[in-house]
Amino acid sequence: MKEGEKEIELIKKGKRLDGRGFEELRPIKIEVGVLKRADGSCYFEMGNNKVMAAVYGPREMHPRHFQDAKMAVVKYRYNMAPFSVDDRKRPGPDRRSVEISKVSREAFDPVIIKEYYPKTAIDVYVEVLQSDAGTRTAGINAASVALADAGIPMKDMVSSVAVGKIGGEVVLDLSGVEDNHGEADMPIAMVARTDTITMLQMDGHFKKEEFERGLKLAMDACHKIYELQRTALIERYSKSVGEGEE
Amino acid sequence: MGLEIMDDIRKDYVYDVLRSGKRVDGRGFREYRAISVERDVMKRAEGSALVKIGDTEVLVGVKLEPGEPFSDAPDKGIIMTNAELVPMASPEFEPGPPNENSVELARVVDRGIRGSEAIDLEKLCIEEGEKVWMIFIDIHVLDNDGNLVDAAALGAIASLLNFRIPNERYGLTGEDSLPMRDTPVAVTTVKIGGDVLADPNLYEESAATSRLTVISNADGALSGMQKSGNGELKEEEIAEMVEIGIEKAKEIRENYLSNFL
């Protein structure tokens, strides 16, 4: 809990404020290939979160001394639009976005086959346009699809979701109000095919059993998100081939 | 570029030794290097601690200043945690603005302090909506031989356990101290190949694919976690790391913090 906040009843009659059950995701909408200039892109909605991801590359790495002779360098920029939050966010990177960019990039490190493209850069840009808790996880989900759309070779996609604790209950995919008044928040990212965790953060108060239960819940949800990501990609590409657009 | 070659040599060495079931410095897999915590080492700071874990050395200073509260928390003090990876601490550190590693270090330490609710922020209110105490926790890394997070987090809580509130300097009256409500302790483990090692030294850090910091409170509950690094972790590996985290935090708390309580 953000200490001492006014008590808000987050659970009423076994339901959450938005009517969801404890283990229910918010509605997800995925659109693939939404930007013309980017090599790959994805628009992703998760509840009231609206994020856009774009991928450029593999392309020449500038400045050159950052090149890696053995593999591509993946860069990841998580950025919030100034109007994406209640109190306008000052444009540009802050400490929070620097950290999120780092852990998000690391979430993709195990899956991107960087050895195929030495000396290049693969740029992943994530813009949060509207936020309602869980933007880093929405960003990772979007970036995954955008990377696939860009044709970047990957061992698998990455799927991401948060679990948390509200009113003493472990619940999936916190909304903004739940995050602000909840007791714990734990975003994770997972590779569905191998069930391996590539990002894990936690803050708040979790007993060990709650943590274990939360992790399982989040991993199950990642499988669901993975299917949605996969379906969105298949739909996008079966369509263009069928209609002979490209 | 020379450093990269050294990096490869170091990694090979760590792997080779691990293959024979040992760590490069002969420790057990769950064993920490020697820890020392010295408190109140800097007299200009309202609280301070010098922590050594093996050859890793981190100095933490706590300063307080009155300031304006955030509009959404008018009756609460403010915590600001900052870390500087000063160039003297490692050939790999460069002067300049904070980079992602120093930001991550500061934010993970901050997360443990906040998550544990160790500081009663309401007690730091001077005048609601007008003036509150801002606590600055500054982490100064002096020597990096690996596992900066645990050293910094231990330094932060040790400094906080006995800081003075500088009322006089600002012409204020009130309590001169603030007892902590909890003692969060960070325990970092790394995964190298199939092995999990606590308190990685620099060699082990460079060979590790993933690192997990687990911060836990006196009651054994988790108050913060952070996975770092390019690798992936299985559910059972995370479970092992969390278990080590809680167990080691208890030991560290008893051995190095309880005498300050």
Give the pairing of strands A184-191 and A169-172: unpaired
Low-confidence stretches of chain A (pLDDT < 70) are 1-7, 239-246
Structural domains in chain A, sorted by start: 16-243 (3.30.230.70)
B129 pLDDT more than 50: yes
CA distance A190 to B14: 28
At residue A177, φ and ψ (nearest 5 deg) are -65, -35
B1 pLDDT more than 50: no
The pLDDT value given to residue B259: 86
* Among candidate residues A8, A11, A26, the one with its CA nearest the CA of residue A173: A26
pLDDT cut 70: percent of chain B above it: 98
Is there a contact between A96 and B107 if contact means CB atoms under 8 Å apart?
yes
The pLDDT value given to residue B162: 86
Give the pairing of strands B222-228 and B233-234: unpaired
Mean pLDDT, chain B, whole residue set: 95
Could you tell me how many CB contacts below 8 A there are between chain A and chain B? 108
A193 and B CB contact within 8 Å: no
The pLDDT value given to residue B123: 95
B260 pLDDT more than 90: no
CA distance B191 to B205: 9
Using DSSP, state whether B84 is helix, strand or coil: strand
Structural domains in chain B, sorted by start: 26-260 (3.30.230.70)
Contact of A112 with A146, CB cutoff 8 Å = no
CA distance B37 to B52: 7
Give the pairing of strands A73-80 and A120-130: parallel
Averaged pLDDT, B141-155: 97
The pLDDT value given to residue A3: 46
The pLDDT value given to residue A1: 43
Using DSSP, state whether A124 is helix, strand or coil: strand
> Which residue, chain included where needed, has tokens 């330490």?
B109
B5: confidence class by pLDDT, cuts 50, 70, 90: confident
The pLDDT value given to residue B80: 97
Using DSSP, state whether A237 is helix, strand or coil: helix
B158 pLDDT more than 80: yes
Using DSSP, state whether A173 is helix, strand or coil: coil
* Among candidate residues A45, A40, A9, the one with its CA nearest the CA of residue A30: A45
Over residues B81-109, the pLDDT tens digits come to: 999 999 999 988 999 899 999 999 999 99
The pLDDT value given to residue B7: 80
CA distance B187 to B252: 9
Over residues A183-239, the pLDDT tens digits come to: 999 999 999 999 999 999 999 999 999 999 999 999 999 999 999 999 999 999 986
Chain A positions in Cβ-Cβ contact with residue B122 (cut-off 8 Å)? 3-4
* Among candidate residues A43, A222, A200, the one with its CA nearest the CA of residue A127: A43
Please confirm whether the linkage preceding A63 is cis (ω < 30° from 0). Answer: yes
Is there a contact between B217 and A205 if contact means CB atoms under 8 Å apart?
yes
Interface confidence, given as ipTM, is 0.87
- Give the distance from residue B61's alpha carbon to the nearest chain A alpha carbon, in angstroms: 20
The whole-model pTM stands at 0.91
CA distances (Å), origin B4, targets A115, A120, A208:
17, 18, 39
B49 pLDDT more than 80: yes
CA distance B186 to B201: 15
B28 pLDDT more than 90: yes
Burial label, A232 (beta-carbon count in 10 A; 0-12, 13-18, 19+): buried
Nearest to B231 among A110, A186, A216 (CB): A110
The pLDDT value given to residue A244: 53
- Chain B residues at the A interface, defined by Cβ less than 8 Å, are 73, 75-76, 98, 100, 103-104, 106-107, 111, 114-117, 121-122, 212, 217, 220-235, 238-239, 242, 246
Averaged pLDDT, B188-198: 96
What would you report as the CA-atom Rg of chain B, rounded to the nearest whole angstrom?
Answer: 19
Contact of A219 with B235, CB cutoff 8 Å = yes
CA distances (Å), origin B103, targets B87, B100, B136:
16, 5, 15
The pLDDT value given to residue A130: 97
